[in-house]
Structure 1
Amino acid sequence: MGQTAQAEQIGSVDTVFKMFGPDHKIIVEAFDDPDVKNVTCYLSRAKTGGIKGGLGLAEDTSDAAISCQQVGPIEVSEKIKNGKAQGDVVFQKRTSLVFKKLQVVRFFDAKRNALVYLTYSDRVVDGSPKNALSAVPIMPWSR
């Protein structure tokens, strides 16, 4: 498994006003795939506010969306091309004090020459985990 990316916050919107502590928000973050040059993913996720949220004690919901794009000539390692990096975690963010993480994993679809990014929460409380998907076809890049 490779390294995991660090996210950069792009912006946020308030969704619910809280009298005490920060409001509930949707945060938009960007991160570059640490093992594939020139792929950037944008992730939107819920952030719980209030007093517990302000102290880092609240559990965020599992809601997230992802969109990944090619931003230059893509360079894919032989390890990824050979399928030896299927399901590698490229990004993770703790969304509760102890147990819950939001993760992004990468797959390589050799038949279609595309990278596929799946985001999901790793703690299922009730039913199926919420998830979102984005695919990046590996295309020639010209300026």
Structure 2
Amino acid sequence: MKHFAHATALAACLALPAAAEQVGEVGVDWVGNDIIIDAIQDPKVEGVTCHIAYFDRSLIDRLSQGNWFEDPSNASIACRQTGPIKVGDIDLSEDGEQVFRESRSIILKSLRIKRIFDEPNQTLIYLVHAQELTEGSAKMSISTVPLYGATLAD
């Protein structure tokens, strides 16, 4: 039993990619296209939740418009403090680190959230963008969370 407790604690400490939980769905037309809203908890920053909204193509739209295996790159993000903020061991580089990734096509495109720490302003920046293998996309959205009185990892 003692080994199980240590293994569970170890697993909890390892940073896993954030998981999205669908919290909303808005129908936008008669063919069944929807806007999906997901909540994503930052796995390394306790007390921060991001909400992303993105377009989800229906079967009818895929059949009539072609481009069967791909969803649009558009996404919007809003991140807020949802509890006491405790910052874990985050990447402090200018490139930041990936918090979330979801495929938007079979192979070539993914929707990603990156976290970047703006140290001079004590602010976390969350950027949602599409990453494509063959060509980049200028479609992006950012949100910031100030770290007033937050606990930072040593």
TM-score, normalization: structure 2? 0.76
For structure 2, list consecutive stretches of 5 or more residues without a partner in the other structure.
Answer: 1-14
Q: Is the 8 A contact 1:38 1:72 kept in 2?
A: yes
* % same residue: 34
TM-score, normalization: structure 1? 0.81
- Equivalence for 2:50: 41
- The question of 1:117 aligning with 2:126 is answered yes
Between the aligned partners of 1:138 and 1:53, the Cα distance in structure 2 is: 43
Between the aligned partners of 2:83 and 2:94, the Cα distance in structure 1 is: 22
Could you say which structure has the higher helix fraction? 2
Secondary structure class of the residue paired with 1:26: strand
Residues 58-114 of structure 1 show CA distances to partners (whole Å, capped at 9, x for unaligned) of 31101100000011221113544xx25842110111111221100000000110101
Secondary structure class of the residue paired with 1:41: strand
Deviation, structure 1 residue 17: 2.0
- Equivalence for 2:72: 61
Residues 117-136 of structure 1 show CA distances to partners (whole Å, capped at 9, x for unaligned) of 00000017777420000000
- Equivalence for 1:77: 88
**Stretches of 4+ aligned residues off by more than 6 angstroms:** 124-127
For structure 1, list consecutive stretches of 5 or more residues without a partner in the other structure.
Answer: none
Q: How many residues align?
A: 133
- Equivalence for 2:99: 90
Between the aligned partners of 1:11 and 1:35, the Cα distance in structure 2 is: 24
User: Structure 2: which amino acid aligns with 1:7?
Assistant: A
- Equivalence for 1:8: 21
- Equivalence for 2:7: none
User: Structure 2: which amino acid aligns with 1:13?
Assistant: V
Largest Rg, 1 or 2: 2
Pick which of 122-131 and 68-77 moved more.
122-131
Q: Is the 8 A contact 2:52 2:78 kept in 1?
A: yes
